Amino acid sequence: MTETPQTQSSATPTLAAQYQPGEVEQRRYEAWVRAGYFKTDATSDKPPFTIVIPPPNVTGSLHMGHALDHTIQDWLTRRRRMQGYEALWLPGMDHAGIATQNVVERQLAREGLSRHDLGREKFVERVWQWKGESGGTILGQMRRLGDSVDWDRERFTMDEGLSRAVLTIFKRLYNDGLIYRAERIINWCPRCLTALSDIEVEHSDDEGELVSIRYSDEIVVATTRAETMLGDTAVAVHPDDERYKHLVGTEVELPLTGRRIPVVADEHVDPAFGTGAVKVTPAHDPNDFEIGQRHDLPSLTIMDERGVITAHGPFQGLDRFEARPAIVAALRAQGLIVAEKRPYVHAVGHCSRCKTTVEPRLSLQWFVKTEPLAKAAGDAVRDGRVRIEPGDLAKRYFAWVDNMHDWCISRQLWWGHRIPVWYGPDGEMLCVGPDDKVPTGEGWRQDEDVLDTWFSSALWPFSTLGWPEQTPDLAKFYPTSVLVTGYDILFFWVARMMMFGLYAMDGKQPFDVIALHGMVRDEHGKKMSKSFGNVVDPLDWIERYGADATRFTLARGANPGADVPVSEDWTQGSRNFCNKVWNATRFALLNGAHLDGDLPSDLSPVDRWILSRLQHVIGEVDELAESYELAKVCDTLYHFAWDDVFDWYVELAKPVLAGGGPAAERTKRVLGHVLDQLLRLLHPVIPFVTDELWTALTGGETVVTAAWPVAVPALVDDAAEAELATLQRVVTEIRRFRSDQGLKPAQRVVARLDGLAAAGIGGHEPLIRSLARLDEAGEDFTATAQLAVTGEVSVTLDTRGAIDVAAERARLEKDRAAALKEAEQTRAKLDNPAFVGKAPEPVVQKIKERLAAAEADLARIATALEALPTA
């Protein structure tokens, strides 16, 4: 049993009596960055491991979702770094077109200005100025969390290199016929005055009104957007609907307008929904647009870009939400309202930036033809080039990429990558790449729109590594190893990176693994929202409990693909764990734990047991880590650290250390080794406290670059584990008995131990007596209680003078009465068919659990009463 020792200083380092995160974290982080521990080298012969950070918005600040995402990525990166990989975690930010433009426009409004007062060029300069002065707050907050990113490689989606990548891929897609310009229905924000991507639309169940309108004696249609009827150009029915077959090809008069519109047959119509007849407004509904295309219907735009009615008539000039009740009132006055359902709850899309209700709108925009790109993105997962973790989310990915609509990529903004297309005086259209000359003749003008922010971020895994140039970084670190992100943007950002990565990089996937996590929720499982008042600022927890405690709280809930509930109580528990690690290491240092020389060969069963347990834990952690099971990794380490190391091994070591001699020296060496390995295992999750402790324990430079533990099969000792399991059972049962009898933890009791040798733990009697606070039996020993622990081991105790029998009996009788009452009440509920039949299953299950707990209490109390002395 040998190990290369760490260099340790001769003087024992002094640790403060209590761990103070505020005195450690900033100092440690700055030292890590100065030392260059996070820097990476593309010329290294180490195997690469790469994560490109999902770029937060330049306007953003750290929220719980970021904190979870970054904790997982940092854990993965730090572990790989310790395993000897050239581990690159690349940081950066997204220019966040809509959000950033809104921020600067609000700033101008406070000055009494608009962007139009400045003009496009000056406004963009103003945005860059804001970015330099106020943008990127989140980067500093990432340091507070402990992100081990290579800051020298920080990128921004509008920097020179990434802008070149955008222009390059736009022209390539354009030349391949995969980018086109067309009039189609898009999501439109009447407040931000721009098209929106699907991910920029948030859907919520809103209260509205469902109005049924009579279009003719035989046709009634229902709508939640009565104002759009002004743009109807047909009524559609299913071709097989017998009720309406005779009307197909005829016309009806559109109420309030005097226009006549046709009745068409279309298989999109569901004959079982409502009346089976639907109004068709091609310019204001995506499904109606498709019907209009199939039947060559005209598209009438009846609202302007701000949602104001433009159709001639009495409603012209009204806002859409003013026009809606006015139109319903006019229809009601003519007796054309058949039914009104109010409130009617239905899904409504809102702009994710300003919360304005989104308006479907026919608009001339730029689109990516997604069909061939999406097929490639689906094939990469199907053929195994890319693995989705957890695997059961792959079907959701396929449901999206296999049915993807063409992607609207143009935005009516000034901040962003401007569409690289020029229009000539004679109708010419020229796409200009990064190395092409821009047309300068009279009458030439560039497209006014900019690209969707997701267009540039879709290039992130390779543009950040230098593409379109063939850089050493690109050769070394692409494909990236893993993408860590929330399942909620699997469809949008992840799918787009897959499409562009495979397209630009000749079929090479942008990442090998997509590791999906859930959303952070409150302790009740409720989504965090300002309106709910349950939003938690991770910086507040970092300030009060430390970054390690905040990280550990999030990590313990990070099951792949599952939502993560958190609470302040759990964070306090994580802080207590960090303090426990601190205190145990401090105890070890004060008692001479070290790493000098090889591990001794002549170890006690206790030392062999903890070393064996350590090997199992290293193997379990490695297996779980490869499956991205961070929550289970944390659970394994938590219980090994707290239960095996701190509660058992340290306590078992205390009498040995106090006894001195060779046994104590061997235990000091084992204790040093176990803590060294434990701190390494914990470091990727709680980096600050572990680095402070590891350097103090080992005298090494930093645990950041220390080698990751490797299990040593020769140290696995099944016999020692079985022996200590018996010892632990004996001590645990004695402690339980003492607790049931009301004995104080420090109070010593005289006892006789029988059967220890037969159980294989005869040599551990001094340790058992020390841990269980038991004294040797003398001549006046009188047996007042007996406890059968195992088939071989029994414990006979003399509790005279240790227990106030009358008071203890009274206490137990009181407890028994309460438990009996609880058992009777819960049993009565479960015996009541009316209750069991009507109550929700979780409520019934809770009652069952209460009954089981009460019955267990009754059994425990009965045993304790029986064990009390009779005299």
Residue 9: its pLDDT value, please?
44
Distance (Å, whole) CA 170 – CA 352: 26
Nearest-CA neighbor of 503 among 165, 173, 52, 162?
Answer: 173
Residue 738: its pLDDT value, please?
87
Task: Tell me the residue type at 786.
Answer: Q
In a shared domain, residues 206 and 340: yes
In a shared domain, residues 210 and 295: yes
Question: Can you spell out the DSSP letters for 423-466?
Answer: E-TTS-EEE--TTSPPP-STT-EE-S-EE-HHHHHTTHHHHTTT
Structure tokens, 632: 């289970």
In a shared domain, residues 217 and 338: yes
CB–CB of 568/550 below 8 Å? no
Residue 739: its pLDDT value, please?
86
In a shared domain, residues 660 and 775: no
- Into how many domains does the chain fold? 3
Question: Is 744 known as a binding-site position?
Answer: no
CB–CB of 353/98 below 8 Å? yes
> Is residue 432 included in any domain, yes or no?
no
Boundary-marking domain end, from 660, 688, 716: 716
> Is residue 20 included in any domain, yes or no?
no
CB–CB of 788/827 below 8 Å? no
> Is residue 371 included in any domain, yes or no?
no
In a shared domain, residues 712 and 770: no
Question: Can you spell out the DSSP letters for 191-231?
Answer: TTTEEE-GGGEEEEEEEEEEEEEESSSS-EEEES-GGGGGG
In a shared domain, residues 353 and 219: yes
In a shared domain, residues 696 and 777: no
pLDDT, tens digit (0-9, with 9 covering 90-100), for 211-260: 999 999 999 999 999 999 999 999 999 999 999 999 999 999 999 999 99
CB atoms within 10 A of CB 778: 8
Helix, strand, coil shares of the chain, percent, nearest 5, are 45, 15, 35
> Given phi > 0 = left and psi -120 to 50 = alpha, else beta, which region is 36?
left
> Is residue 829 included in any domain, yes or no?
yes
Q: Residue 794 belongs to a domain with what CATH number?
A: 1.10.287.380
In a shared domain, residues 707 and 790: no
In a shared domain, residues 697 and 757: no
CB–CB of 106/176 below 8 Å? no
Query: What pTM did the predictor assign?
Result: 0.86
Distance (Å, whole) CA 366 – CA 181: 4
In a shared domain, residues 224 and 315: yes
> Is residue 668 included in any domain, yes or no?
yes
Q: Residue 595 belongs to a domain with what CATH number?
A: 1.10.730.10
Residue 420: its pLDDT value, please?
98
> Is residue 761 included in any domain, yes or no?
yes
Domain that holds residue 324: 194-360
Spell out, as residue ranges, where the chain has pLDDT lower than 70.
1-13, 531, 803-804, 870-871
Residue 813: its pLDDT value, please?
87
Task: Tell me the residue type at 273.
Answer: F
> Is residue 233 included in any domain, yes or no?
yes
In a shared domain, residues 204 and 352: yes
In a shared domain, residues 303 and 256: yes
> Is residue 683 included in any domain, yes or no?
yes
Question: What dihedral do alpha carbons 241, 247, 253, 255 form, nearest 10°?
Answer: -20
Residue 12: its pLDDT value, please?
58
Distance (Å, whole) CA 790 – CA 258: 94
Question: Can you spell out the DSSP letters for 23-77?
Answer: HHHHHHHHHHHHHTTT---TT--SPEEEEE--PPBTT----HHHHHHHHHHHHHH
Helix (H, G, I), strand (E, B) or coil at 721: helix
Boundary-marking domain end, from 333, 360, 387: 360
Boundary-marking domain end, from 360, 393, 410: 360
